[in-house]
Amino acid sequence: MRILSIAILLCLSQVQAQTPNEEGRVLKALPLDFDESPQQPAAAAPQPTPTPLPAPAPEPEPTTTPTSSPDPSALEVPPLDQKPSGDDAVRLQIFLDHENFGPGVIDGKIGQFSELAVKCWNELHGHPLDGWTAVNTAARKAVPNPFAVAIVPEISAKWADTKLTYKRSQQGNVKRMSYRSIVEFMSERYHTDISYLTALNPNVKIYSLKPRDTLIVPNVNAFQIENLTGAAFKQDEALSQRHAVIDTKFNQVRIYEANLRALIVADPEAPANVANQSLIAAFPITPGKPQFIRYGIWTMQNAVELPVWRYDQQLLDTGKRSNNAINIAGGPNNPVGVLWCGLSKPGIGMHGTSDPETIGRSRSAGCIRLANWDIVRIPSLLRPGASVEIR
């Protein structure tokens, strides 16, 4: 195995590439009939982000079909120039997620992260930042079916461990920090949380799911954890020149092209809103505690899937290493999530999380946390060598 050592001050300290996971056929929700495919960066290395749905397998399988709205209010057509609700809110969140402007957990609630994502999309396309008409129009066109029926894949059983311990002292003996239930597997797969899946499926015994069962889910591109192999990503000619800004006030990371486009318009008759085509993506984050944040411009040093967490309670308490550390295996319930991106400043890194619903709502010990379905996109957008500003 390939071992990558990372100095982590109060958050996480050592990552290690894992061996490839078991492969399995995956049935996802109905594809999102987007008119345009998202821009793909020119990168030779494998991309960890979810790929478009494969063609149906030759073996007879139940197909995934769109479903009628669980929300009776969806029969009403809300105005385009207002913050959406009901199905339109889910539709908008799915659209923003597809555009790489993460709205947070997809749950039909247009909160802070969804509004920040709308501002980003408007900024990219040159619309008024607080406007709703353009983005709602685009979302309705791109996402005709906000919900779909998903079949629980067979591989979910290999990624769910109902007996996974919560005790750190015992987690060093676990081979993989798996999901604790199949519903946890399915909620993260479709960028949502268990409470929203429960609301969408009131007649389903949500904690008794098994492979081949069906669920109504947000019709989003699925996060396929079984595709992660423990890869370590290298520098890329284009992606390593990009720039990320981590805003600890608004709890968001933005990614820009290398050559930031000047937005100053000298012509007084020019349009008030100018498209910022240097903006590539933006995702919600949870920053570290204020006393541990290291402001400044750093360099992304590495990016590795399925990292191993070196748990050292003395390090967390005092900032000094001890000889009593425990290496905790990679997996979705590892506290660093499914991807680690270390920066040039010791103790600083971007990583995933075992609790995506807490993003933006609770502080981490020291680093920058993203939902697992967001952090896995980073190597397709940003590579080692890129600059990362924390402000």
Query: Over pLDDT 70: what percentage of the chain?
Result: 73
Query: Over pLDDT 90: what percentage of the chain?
Result: 64
| Count of structural domains, the chain | 3
Q: In Å, what is the CA distance from 252 to each residue of 52, 110, 136, 245?
A: 26, 16, 22, 8
Amino acid code (one letter) for 327: N
Q: Which domain holds residue 193?
A: 147-227
pLDDT for res 318: 62
Kindly state whether residues 163 and 107 are assigned to the same domain: no
Backbone angles phi, psi at 299, to 5 degrees: -115, 135
> pTM score, two decimals?
0.81
Kindly state whether residues 321 and 361 are assigned to the same domain: yes
Kindly state whether residues 238 and 344 are assigned to the same domain: yes
Pairing, β 349-351 against β 368-369 = parallel
Kindly state whether residues 237 and 182 are assigned to the same domain: no
Q: In Å, what is the CA distance from 85 to each residue of 28, 88, 93, 98, 114?
A: 25, 6, 11, 19, 12
Residue 284: inside a domain: yes
Nearest CA to 339 out of 347, 349, 328, 327 is that of 349
Backbone angles phi, psi at 176, to 5 degrees: -155, 135
pLDDT for res 283: 98
Kindly state whether residues 137 and 158 are assigned to the same domain: no
* Mean per-residue pLDDT, 55-64: 37
β-sheet bridge partners, residue 243: 256, 387
pLDDT for res 66: 61
- Among the residue ranges 18-27, 121-130, 343-352, the one predicted with the least confidence is 18-27
Residue 77: inside a domain: no
Kindly state whether residues 279 and 352 are assigned to the same domain: yes
Kindly state whether residues 247 and 370 are assigned to the same domain: yes
Kindly state whether residues 254 and 121 are assigned to the same domain: no
pLDDT of 5 higher than 50: no
User: Residue 214's CB: how many other CB atoms inside 10 A?
Assistant: 17
Residue 259: inside a domain: yes
Element holding 189 (H helix, E strand): helix 182-189
Instruction: Give 112-179 as a DSSP string.
Output: HHHHHHHHHHHHHHT--TT--HHHHHHHHHH-S-SEEEEEPPGGGGGGB-TT----HHHHTT-S---B
Where residue 292 sits, what CATH number does that domain have? 2.40.440.10
Residue 254: inside a domain: yes
Q: Is 158 exposed, middle or buried (CB count within 10 Å of its CB: 0-12, 13-18, 19+)? A: middle
- C-alpha to C-alpha distance for 353 and 197, rounded to whole angstroms: 20
β-sheet bridge partners, residue 41: none
Nearest-Å Rg of the Cα atoms of the chain is 21
Kindly state whether residues 180 and 279 are assigned to the same domain: no
SS3 15: strand
Would you place residue 288 in the very low, low, confident or very high pLDDT band (cuts 50, 70, 90)? confident
- Among the residue ranges 152-161, 172-181, 339-348, the one predicted with the least confidence is 339-348
Q: Using an 8 Å Cβ cutoff, are 17 and 231 in contact? A: yes
Per-residue pLDDT of 194-252, as tens digits, reads: 999 999 999 999 999 999 999 999 999 999 999 999 999 999 999 999 999 999 999 99
